[in-house]
A and B are shown apart, each in its own frame.
Chain A
Amino acid sequence: EALAPRKPSYTNEEEVMEDKRKEIMLPKEWPWIETLDVTSAVAAEELIGDVENDFAREQMFYNQALAAALQARNYFAEHSIPANRPHDYFAETIKTDAHMERVRKHHVQQDLRIAAVE
């Protein structure tokens, strides 16, 4: 990639982007419940050592998402908002039951294969 010709300069209109952000922003006075957004304390770039290491990278994403999920859960607990799905609540899911069955079979087969090698 070092062969790629580099342009002398790249546009980065920081002030215009900030103005644009303020222009489209949702009203500040809205409660957090409208958006459910969480921002981590430390930049991911600082936490990751080797980007090519799939395992370390996925683990970092997981940790970031888990921290956000816990923060959301704490908020719901504090404001006594029941946001968990009740156990007796059944409704359509993103993946169908047939698909989940295929996933389960795939994993059983994987386990068998590993067991066979061992």
Chain B
Amino acid sequence: RKANTLWTTPKYRNKQRTLVFGTRGLTTRFRHLLNDLRLLLPHSKKEVKMDAKDKLYIINEIAELKACNSCIFFEARKGQDLYLWISRIPHGPSVKFHVLNIHTLDELKLTGNALRGSRPVLSFDAAFDELPALKLLKEIFIQVFGTPNRHPKSKPFVDHVLNFAYIDGKIWFRNYQMFDEQKTARDADLKLVEIGPRMVLNIVRIFDGSFCGATLYENPNYVSPNLARHIRRKQTAQRQHNRSR
């Protein structure tokens, strides 16, 4: 079978290694999402949790020790907010996202499944060819989320789609199985079944360096979760105050 697969195409050359890890204090849901990403990326490497007190730029040293050229890093704050960093090691750029609406692989309503280590089709919407910040992100996503052709831990099949869509100023991430529904003995219709995980990535900033350096982009629509909570509390207080008068 080997003579007649994806692997008949040129040699293994897209050598991507992505370090996937996070800080201490990740909640169960965040930890599950982290493990889901590890499952989806056969070219990922593991590292033990990092202390929240450590400065983020030491991640560059950790990644270089592991011979990784990119990193996905989960940063949890206050046991309720999750920030996701994606960085190119060692010279950047790096992006900080605030992660919203997380659904992990564990959820029962998502019925799709895929081979471990099979390669995904990466689907971007047209906005990723228009806005400079998104063009840069598309290049990073291709390298970090794509499975390199002929990676030793990958399988020579393509059976799922990672979908990135930019709406409402945020990036929506979905993962679908490619499923052939048999119409007749010879004909099959391509359908998709969602596998998970799901998440919404809100860009906070893009930095020139890896976990450091000048800011290249700031999202004007980003409201930090602390401020959002503060405003909500204030509004509730205002309502209560008005009612009591």
Residues of B in contact with A, size category: 35 or more
Given A10-B220, A21-B139, A51-B168, verify A39-B125 contact (CB < 8 Å): yes
User: A83 in the interface, Cβ–Cβ < 8 Å?
Assistant: yes
Given A16-B208, A69-B178, A95-B105, verify A36-B120 contact (CB < 8 Å): yes
Pick from B53-61, B73-81, B127-135 the stretch touching chain A.
B127-135
Given A4-B223, A68-B161, A93-B113, verify A37-B142 contact (CB < 8 Å): yes
Bound together, the chains give a CA A94 to CA B120 distance in angstroms of 13
Kindly list chain B residues whose C-beta atoms are within 8 Å of the C-beta of A39. Answer: 123-126, 128-129, 138
Residue from the list A38, A45, A51, A106 in contact with B123, Cβ < 8 A: A38
Bound together, the chains give a CA A65 to CA B161 distance in angstroms of 6
- Name the residue among A1, A4, A65 with the largest chain B CB count within 10 angstroms: A65
Say whether B163 contacts A65, CB under 8 Å: yes
Number of interface residues of A (CB under 8 A): 69
Kindly list chain B residues whose C-beta atoms are within 8 Å of the C-beta of A68. Answer: 121-123, 161, 163
Bound together, the chains give a CA A63 to CA B125 distance in angstroms of 11
User: B86 in the interface, Cβ–Cβ < 8 Å?
Assistant: no
Kindly list chain A residues whose C-beta atoms are within 8 Å of the C-beta of B214. Answer: 13
Say whether B124 contacts A38, CB under 8 Å: yes
Report the 6 A-B pairs with minimum CB-CB distance, sorted nearest first: A68-B123, A44-B125, A106-B108, A44-B165, A65-B163, A14-B132
Give the B-binding residues of A (Cβ under 8 A): 1, 3-4, 6-7, 10-14, 16-18, 20-21, 23-26, 30-31, 33-45, 48, 51, 57, 60-62, 64-73, 76, 81-86, 89, 91-95, 99-100, 102-103, 106-107
Show 27 residue pairs from A and B whose CB-CB distance is below 8 angstroms, ordered by the A residue: A1-B231, A16-B208, A17-B135, A18-B136, A24-B93, A26-B139, A31-B9, A33-B9, A34-B149, A35-B14, A36-B146, A39-B138, A42-B125, A45-B125, A61-B163, A61-B165, A64-B163, A69-B161, A69-B176, A81-B5, A85-B115, A93-B115, A94-B114, A95-B113, A100-B113, A103-B108, A103-B111
